[in-house]
Amino acid sequence: MVRWILGAACALALAGCSPEFDWRSVQVANGAVTGVLPARPQSQTREVDFEGHPLSLTMTMAQAGSVLFALGHAPLPEVLRADPEAARALARGVIRSFYDNLGAQAPDPLPEPGERFIVDGGTPERPMRLEALVVLSRQDLLEAVVTAEAGAFGRAPVQDFWLGLRMPSGAR
């Protein structure tokens, strides 16, 4: 009985220190991707030039505590829709950029599009962890990302995000 009370007290204390996760269903890429985000989502669109291809990248994201959850999509330009190898090279460039942005050595070989991967990087003073999935559909480049300081990452319900993610059938 005492163990149960101590366990319950510890759980309540930890719950009081944890960010609140108010999971909400969201759709991106004109409904091609559905997922859950832990708070009210915000969307931001930026024009980016990636590997010589102009892309309109929209990120729909929510933050809970210090953990950022995001779903992104960019419609593929016609030239990439017509050239699957060029589209795959673009997706691999996006995967490599996650390693570069965290100052981490990219593995050889890189994770493939459609394969979830983890990047540990940052600085010794502020170690970061990122877990991501980059996928190509016939029309879009799609991303799902969770990132946080390494210590906060382990306490967040990251699996809830991944379990709620639905990518289009046939995506690679």
pLDDT in tens, 89-136: 999 999 999 999 999 999 999 999 999 999 999 998 999 999 999 999
Please tell me the predicted confidence (pLDDT) of residue 16: 39
Tokens standing for residue 3: 């163990």
Domain count, the chain: 1
Residue 171 falls inside a structural domain: no
Residue 170 falls inside a structural domain: no
Task: Give the pLDDT confidence of 148-158 residue by residue, as tens digits.
Answer: 999 888 777 89
Identify which has the larger pLDDT, 11 or 158.
158
Residue 57 falls inside a structural domain: yes
Please tell me the predicted confidence (pLDDT) of residue 6: 27
Residue 7 falls inside a structural domain: no
Residue 140 falls inside a structural domain: yes
Residue 132 falls inside a structural domain: yes
Q: What percentage of residues in the chain have a pLDDT greater than 70? A: 87
Residue 156 falls inside a structural domain: yes
In angstroms, rounded to a whole number, what is the distance separating the alpha carbons of residues 20 and 40? 12
Please tell me the predicted confidence (pLDDT) of residue 56: 96
Burial class (CB in 10 A: 0-12, 13-18, 19+), 58: middle
Residue 129 falls inside a structural domain: yes
16-43 mean pLDDT: 85
- Residue 135 structural domain: 20-163
pTM of the model: 0.84
In angstroms, rounded to a whole number, what is the distance separating the alpha carbons of residues 36 and 126? 27
Nearest alpha carbon to residue 50 among 85, 87, 84: 87
Beta-strand relationship, 33-37 and 24-28:
antiparallel
Q: What is the DSSP letter of 153?
A: H
Task: Give the pLDDT confidence of 69-79 residue by residue, as tens digits.
Answer: 999 999 999 99
In angstroms, rounded to a whole number, what is the distance separating the alpha carbons of residues 120 and 110? 14
